[in-house]
Amino acid sequence: MRGAGVCVVQRVSGGGAGSICSLGLGLGAALGLDLTMLRDIFAQTGAASRVLETDGEDMQNRAHDCYFSAVHAAKDSGIALSLAKAAGVTAPLAQATYDQYQRLVALGKGELDKSAISELTFKDRSSH
């Protein structure tokens, strides 16, 4: 269980970071901010993350070529939620992330990369 547990915890942490990154960029877009500049600022502050490095530009440019699908992200988020509940841990960010990935799947976008979560947070995108 230890190895599987580490994998799930890592993936749910990354999923939550992706959700937060998507929200920040979506809000920036809604406010009319330059998203390249905003990503550069994120990278120099507490908002810096590996997810920002790997997915930030893809979220900005709607480049969702699949490296890790939204379907798999939803599955991993669901597993993490089950483990959290079994351990007596409240996980609202994991629940919100799971719900977002489930919504992507329901919209027929589950085979897109996990970065497609941005399709739900950018005001001007059709899935919003």
CATH classification (class only), 2-120: mainly alpha
pLDDT recorded at residue 33: 98
pLDDT recorded at residue 127: 61
pLDDT recorded at residue 9: 81
- DSSP-assigned letter for residue 95: H
Instruction: Compute the distance between CA of residue 32 and CA of residue 30 in angstroms, rounded to an integer.
Output: 5
Where does residue 85 rank: exposed (0-12), middle (13-18), buried (19+ CB within 10 A)?
exposed
**Residue ranges, the chain, pLDDT below 70:** 1, 127-128
pLDDT recorded at residue 128: 53
Q: Is the pTM of this model over 0.85?
A: yes
Q: Dihedral of the CA atoms 67, 19, 97, 13 (nearest 10)?
A: 70
The backbone torsions φ and ψ at residue 114, rounded to the nearest 5 degrees and listed phi first, read -55, -25
Q: Which residues of 48-82 are buried (b: 16+ CB within 10 A; e: fewer)?
A: ebebbebbbebbbeeebeeebbbbbbbbbbbbbbe
- Please compute Rg for the chain using Cα positions: 14
pLDDT recorded at residue 2: 75
Residue-range domain boundaries for the chain = 2-120
